Structure 1
Amino acid sequence: MTFHSMWAELVPIGRSSASGGYRRYAWTPADLDCRAWFKEQAESRGLAYEVDRNGNQWAWLGDPDAGDAVVTGSHLDSVPDGGAFDGPLGVVSSFAALDELRARGTDLAKPLAVVNFGDEEGARFGLACVGSRLTAGQLTREQAHRLTDGEGVTLARAMEAAGYDPDTVGPDPERLARIGAFVELHVEQGRALDLTGDRVGIASAIWPHGRWRFDFRGEANHAGTTRLTDRHDPMLSYAETVLAARREAELAGAVATFGKIAVEPNGVNAIPSLVRGWLDSRAEDQGRLDAVVAGIEKAAGEYAAAHGIALDVVRESFTPVVEFDHALRDELARILGKDTGITVPVLGTGAGHDAGILSGRIPTAMLFVRNPTGVSHSPAEFAAEDDCVAGVLALADVLEGLARR
């Protein structure tokens, strides 16, 4: 099966006719359809298919217990109304790269595997990379069971409803011990490759990043009869904090985004009693990130005090800077440049990935495929098919070089 035909099969799953974006949230029917697609791809190639204790899917060529396996893959879930490429490009490219190796008649000395990590985006339960975090021991069973979606459904209940056993989730050191290297291909979430004219790049590091919840608690009242001077309106403090986040990020050369908000009682003619906003902030280094978040918290506290608003700030998740394995990164550069002599660009990213989560336990690396607009997490996300094919060939070269090493 070609890259094009696999892509065509996957494209309709979970796509909103209203927005054109994707709503493939963890353990929903769209996610289960994606999982069924993965299983079908594995079995149609005669690969050994399995699901681990955390719901991650694996397709093996060779004996998994032989050790020192070379693994590739990504995820199939999406952010709300996300694009087609973030995650799925890595999974489709992995199967296509495996097909390419078979067509070449490559004699592999190590087992290969393709993986689909579950709930990478965190769109439903609010925590990114759940499948890989559980596997790497960064999330405990108890913590996972406490995660809930916007409707109050727990992760455990959602898994159970989808036919999976939530009581098995947790660290999986035995599985990680099988893996000698993990290489994740991903569409670039920026324009660095487009600006240099390169189709494929190698990741150097992932910026430190986190998510913070800001709860502004005021007093609900009538929008038409309450004098402005008598109001304790948390929306004002929230709005001023959004502007402060932009200022602090600009000063530090970082990024800060309030992209999600919940309001109570959420009535057009009611002053809110609660405004809850989620901050996503990322920076090139830890010092800058700490300065940005501290500046935003300080401003939020001052605005809240001025309006008689109570404020709580909770850090919901955090990932420190990830430096990808230097030896593996250099090996990728050597493999991709050995026949052409071309230097493949190496670039950092502000986006989190499963490869970053696993990097503390096993050698990991990433390949990026050119994104001509730099748009991601949007229906406008795009990569040209010839660039995608170039990514497949680059991944095949890397897998071949690592598995024959």
Structure 2
Amino acid sequence: MIPTPEAPAPRSAAAPAAAARGGAGSFHTLWNELAPIGRHADSGGYRRYAWTGADADCRAWFRAQAESRGLTYEVDRNGNQWAWLGDPLAGDAVVTGSHLDSVPDGGAFDGPLGVVSSFAALDELRSRGAAFSRPLAITNFGDEEGARFGLACVGSRLAAGQLTKEKAYELRDGDGVSLPEAMERAGYDPETIGADPERLARIGAFVELHVEQGRALDLSGDRVGIASAIWPHGRWRFDFHGEANHAGTTRLVDRRDPMLTYAATVLAARQEAALAGAVATFGKISVEPNGVNAIPSLVRGWLDSRAADQATLDTVVTAVEKAAREHADRDGIDLAVVRESFTPVVEFEHALRDELNRILGGSVPVLGTGAGHDAGILSAAVPTAMLFVRNPTGVSHSPREFAAEDDCVAGVLALADVLEGLACR
């Protein structure tokens, strides 16, 4: 078993090969190296799930990048990876990075763009001959998407104390494998997981670069933007219990079919979200007994809902549940609703956000987002900020997710400017 944290790699003051390439050349090389890992041949999307083979390959790639640059490499108690320039224990560090895992058949950019850009930004700064006055770290937070265990941002939630060890041990994937079992199979010790306030106290600022998950920058004509806030969002599980029966011999009037109630609830969610100017999505479903010729006994659906403010989100979710219960009563269905996760609105620290804008010339667009991020989780304990890179398709969590290389390089240079402004003054 690999101990956590792992033994640090030797650290040197320079990385001539990477530095000589600068940010643009470095980004191209890094991106092409990482791109094949975890890509599914049929869908063209990525299946980089936490603590699987594809995840292990991504983690090995991260370690190789750290060591090739002479950075101090370590894995924290929760399996998050760190690559340090300067003394990790000195405090007031500037940290950047994101995540490398994906949703099922996700796109190439969500998460990895931030990690690749971080290494490329460091290479750019070295090519400039930047002199660092604060420690700098690049990180890969584990299991950000929650694709395997159903809870997003597991690595950062554990570190920030927003997910207890006990609750983490209860997480299971679709095959019944628990989180600690998965970690052990991957060679990591789950006994160490939990809040890591000492590590977070050593971080003076965390800046996460991410592909925009929408088209605001495309519509404004800007390559890079700054995040203002993350909308409040959560996940609710709706369990519709009916009665299994024969699809060919049971009269329609005699059925207790939970699929009908589920379908009506999906339509209600769309209507309520549209009325409120929010979003609501049933994107995951499980059915029992899941037979073509059988009326289901149970339909379980997961609602993801987000809104610009808490009151609007509450209104939407309450209305969806009310509609679901009304349809359940009509159809003879028993309904249980469980809130599985929730993140309140995150306002990124205004002083840090304003400092990023100043460093970047004062005219960078500032925009909100409905997507959750590790930066949002850490914001309660660490000053955090985010940069967005233009996505002309507006598509995310899909193989159609896209960012032009010129825009990605613009993001690298913007991140390098920000890190220079924060860590080299």
- Following superposition, the deviation at residue 267 of structure 1 comes to 0.2
Q: Give a deviation string over 1:329-359, Cα, whole Å, max 9, x none.
A: 000000000xxxx500000000000000000
Q: Give, in whole Å, the separation in 2 of the partners of 1:144 and 1:36.
A: 24
- Following superposition, the deviation at residue 309 of structure 1 comes to 0.4
Corresponding residue SS for 1:65: coil
Residue 210 of structure 2 corresponds to residue 190 of structure 1: no
Q: Give a deviation string over 1:341-390, Cα, whole Å, max 9, x none.
A: x5000000000000000000010000000000100000000000000000
Q: Give, in whole Å, the separation in 2 of the partners of 1:394 and 1:245.
A: 39
Q: Give, in whole Å, the separation in 2 of the partners of 1:10 and 1:244.
A: 41
Within the candidate set 243, 248, 262, 1:224 is matched to: 248
Corresponding residue SS for 2:285: strand
Q: Give, in whole Å, the separation in 2 of the partners of 1:368 and 1:255.
A: 21
Within the candidate set 196, 199, 205, 1:175 is matched to: 199
TM-score normalised per structure 1: 0.99
Aligned partner of 1:112 in structure 2 is 136
One-letter amino acid of the counterpart of residue 95, structure 1? F
Q: Give a deviation string over 1:196-237, Cα, whole Å, max 9, x none.
A: 000000000000000000000000000000000000000000
Aligned partner of 2:337 in structure 1 is 313
Q: Give, in whole Å, the separation in 2 of the partners of 1:373 and 1:6.
A: 23
RMSD: 0.5
Structure 2, unpaired ranges of 5+:
1-17, 19-25
Aligned partner of 2:105 in structure 1 is 81
Residue 381 of structure 2 corresponds to residue 357 of structure 1: no
Q: Give, in whole Å, the separation in 1 of the partners of 2:87 and 2:325.
A: 57
Following TM superposition, the consecutive aligned residue runs of length 4 or more in structure 1 with deviations greater than 3 angstroms are none
TM-score normalised per structure 2: 0.94
One-letter amino acid of the counterpart of residue 236, structure 1? L
Within the candidate set 29, 41, 49, 2:53 is matched to: 29
Q: Give, in whole Å, the separation in 1 of the partners of 2:290 and 2:250.
A: 17
Residue 398 of structure 2 corresponds to residue 374 of structure 1: no
- Following superposition, the deviation at residue 88 of structure 1 comes to 0.1
Q: Give, in whole Å, the separation in 2 of the partners of 1:380 and 1:20.
A: 9
Within the candidate set 393, 397, 404, 2:413 is matched to: 393
Within the candidate set 317, 335, 353, 2:359 is matched to: 335
- Following superposition, the deviation at residue 167 of structure 1 comes to 0.7
Q: Give, in whole Å, the separation in 1 of the partners of 2:285 and 2:424.
A: 50
Aligned partner of 1:201 in structure 2 is 225
Aligned partner of 1:42 in structure 2 is 66
Q: Give, in whole Å, the separation in 2 of the partners of 1:148 and 1:270.
A: 27
Identity of aligned residues (%): 83
Within the candidate set 111, 128, 144, 2:168 is matched to: 144
Corresponding residue SS for 2:45: coil
Q: Give, in whole Å, the separation in 1 of the partners of 2:166 and 2:421.
A: 40
Q: Give a deviation string over 1:92-113, Cα, whole Å, max 9, x none.
A: 0000000011111111100000
One-letter amino acid of the counterpart of residue 396, structure 1? A
Corresponding residue SS for 1:202: strand
Aligned length: 401
Corresponding residue SS for 2:236: strand
Aligned partner of 1:215 in structure 2 is 239
In the TM superposition, 1:264-275 aligns within 5 A as: 264-275=288-299
One-letter amino acid of the counterpart of residue 67, structure 2? E
Aligned partner of 2:424 in structure 1 is 404
One-letter amino acid of the counterpart of residue 229, structure 1? V
Corresponding residue SS for 2:89: helix
- Following superposition, the deviation at residue 159 of structure 1 comes to 0.2
- Following superposition, the deviation at residue 399 of structure 1 comes to 0.3
One-letter amino acid of the counterpart of residue 277, structure 1? G
Aligned partner of 1:164 in structure 2 is 188
Q: Give, in whole Å, the separation in 2 of the partners of 1:230 and 1:55.
A: 52
Within the candidate set 299, 321, 330, 1:297 is matched to: 321
- Following superposition, the deviation at residue 404 of structure 1 comes to 2.4
One-letter amino acid of the counterpart of residue 231, structure 2? W
Q: Give, in whole Å, the separation in 2 of the partners of 1:4 and 1:105.
A: 21
Corresponding residue SS for 1:66: coil
Structure 1, unpaired ranges of 5+:
none
Corresponding residue SS for 1:118: coil
- Following superposition, the deviation at residue 4 of structure 1 comes to 0.6
Q: Give, in whole Å, the separation in 2 of the partners of 1:251 and 1:378.
A: 26
Residue 70 of structure 2 corresponds to residue 56 of structure 1: no
Aligned partner of 2:15 in structure 1 is none
One-letter amino acid of the counterpart of residue 80, structure 2? N
- Following superposition, the deviation at residue 34 of structure 1 comes to 0.2
Residue 11 of structure 2 corresponds to residue 11 of structure 1: no
Q: Give, in whole Å, the separation in 1 of the partners of 2:147 and 2:208.
A: 20
Corresponding residue SS for 1:86: coil
